Amino acid sequence: MSKSQQTVIIFLSILTFFSCRVKAQRADFDLSEIACLQNEKPCQIIEHVGYTVCYNSQWHIPNWVAYELTDTETKGVVPRKGNDFFTNDPEVVGDFITHSDYSGSGFDRGHMAPAGDMKWSQQAMAESFYMSNMCPQNHDLNDGDWKILEERIRKWAGQCGSVYVICGPLVSEHAQTIGRKKIVAPEGFFKVLLKNTPNGYETIGFVFQNEGGHNPLSSYVVSVDEIEAMTDIDFFQILPDEIENAVEGTYNLRVWGL
């Protein structure tokens, strides 16, 4: 073997080593296990191309929706579909919800996994309009601060490579319902985020009331632990316990640019 061949082999070995180190450090979470209900609420796990939903057949809305948004995905160019594109989810078992079930309710069909995060795939875009990904949402919230947070998450994903997002409704025992099928209209909504930084994992939570109003995003911030208490859901349980316990009880606004 020549000296130049030996040099190439050594270089490729070093490159492979660092490539494996990068892959090992990057979280690669199973979205079906990224959140876990701590009670007996109905939950059908449905995995779509762009997101995973824990669907509540009693409420006719999700318990939670989870997805990873990467830097590459934020650069997608697939156009958003029109309002007539909302459709029932063919994977839902039992009585499903259609576009017309929200008609006349006064609520938007509010995306949990936003269409704006699915522009990287025609199929992901189409599936984001499944009714299993919707909740009755106040229009001013849907088109206001909720949308502003969605746009900010795209910015964060572009800055750090990827962000994990879990979102869903906040539902009380005496929640309002809409339509003949009695779809639950939540009192509020949550989002919890996880990103990996050079200094380790960082989390943050947001809680919105299902109403209009415009406030700084920082005014909606809470810890992930607080949202776990509100929802009875264990988030990011696939992290090692010592890391999960350390990052979910606090947040750093400066890390998120808030």
Angle at CA of residue 161, ends 156 and 165, nearest 5°: 60
Q: What is the dihedral of CA 116, 152, 223, 245, to 10 degrees?
A: 80
Q: Are 45 and 52 in contact (CB under 8 A)?
A: yes
Instruction: Classify domain 31-248 at the CATH class level.
Output: alpha beta
Q: What is the pLDDT of residues 200-233, one digit of tens each?
A: 999 999 999 999 999 999 999 999 999 999 999 9
The pLDDT of residue 72: 96
Strand partners, 57: none
Query: What per-residue confidence (pLDDT) applies to 43?
Result: 97
Per-residue pLDDT band for 32 (boundaries 50, 70, 90) equals confident
User: In the predicted model, what is the mean pLDDT of residues 134-156?
Assistant: 98
Residue 24's pLDDT is what?
28
Q: Which of 92, 27, 43, 93 is nearest to 233 (CA)?
A: 43
Looking at residue 137, what is its pLDDT? 98
* pLDDT single digits (tens) 35-87: 999 999 999 999 999 999 999 999 999 999 999 999 999 999 999 877 779 99
pLDDT digits (tens, 9 = 90+) for 148-206: 999 999 999 999 999 999 999 999 988 999 999 999 999 999 999 999 999 899 999 99
For residue 239, the SS3 value is: coil
User: 15: pLDDT confidence band, cut at 50, 70 and 90?
Assistant: very low
Assess contact for 184 and 150: CB atoms under 8 A: no
Task: Name the residue type at position 90.
Answer: P
Placement of tokens 């779809």 in the chain: 183
Query: For residue 14, is pLDDT > 60?
Result: no
Nearest to 165 by CA among 42, 29, 45: 29
Element (DSSP H or E) covering residue 20: helix 3-25
Q: Confidence class of residue 6 from pLDDT cuts 50, 70 and 90?
A: very low
Read off the tokens for 65.
């929706």
Q: What is the pLDDT of residue 235?
A: 97
Annotated catalytic residue: which of 111, 139, 174, 214?
111
Q: Average pLDDT, stretch 103-107?
A: 97
- Percent of the chain at pLDDT exceeding 70: 89
48 catalytic per annotation: no
pLDDT digits (tens, 9 = 90+) for 233-242: 999 998 999 9
Output the 3-class SS for 75-93.
HCCCCCCCHHHCECCCCCC
The model's pTM is 0.87
